[in-house]
């Protein structure tokens, strides 16, 4: 079991304590549609297996400033016919703070930090 699953269980306890809950997992169909959308828009790219495992456990997370995006069903079901705009957002410098070899190691570190 990846270490992040244990950390996720801790976060779930905290959420329950405050009357909230974690998101349900993404369905197999939603993950397939998301992969198809990625391949259609970006070519031969696929979701990393470890991210798919995360989505099969929880469909995204928003906890203590940490946001891990999940499958947005509304976007999967609708073809968007709108102009694409490129926006400059007021964000920090974008300097790389740390690099990770896998989604599992990145999400474990992020969850540990969010639990501090």
pLDDT, one tens digit per residue, over 89-115 is 555 666 777 888 888 999 999 999 999
What is the C-alpha separation between 94 and 46, in angstroms, rounded? 24
pLDDT in tens, 59-99: 999 999 898 989 987 655 655 555 555 554 555 666 777 88
3-class secondary structure, 113: helix
- Element holding 80 (H helix, E strand): none
Chain centroid offset of residue 24 CA: 13
Phi, psi of 61 (to 5 degrees): -150, 135
> Model pTM?
0.77
Whether residue 58 is predicted with pLDDT greater than 60 in this model: the reply is yes
Q: Residue 59 belongs to what domain range?
A: 3-114
**How many domains is the chain built from?**
1
pLDDT at res. 88: 47
pLDDT at res. 81: 53
């Amino acid at each position: 079991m990846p270490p992040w699953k244990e950390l996720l269980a801790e976060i779930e306890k905290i959420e329950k304590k405050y009357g909230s809950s974690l998101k349900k997992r993404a369905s197999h169909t939603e993950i397939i549609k998301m992969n198809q959308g990625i391949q259609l828009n970006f070519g031969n790219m696929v979701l990393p297996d470890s991210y798919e495992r995360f989505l099969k456990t929880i469909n995204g997370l928003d906890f203590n400033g940490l946001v891990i995006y999940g499958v947005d069903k509304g976007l999967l079901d609708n073809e968007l016919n709108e102009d694409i705009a490129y926006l400059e957002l007021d964000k920090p410098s974008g300097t790389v703070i740390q690099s990770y070899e896998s989604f599992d190691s990145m999400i474990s570190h992020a969850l540990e930090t969010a639990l501090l």
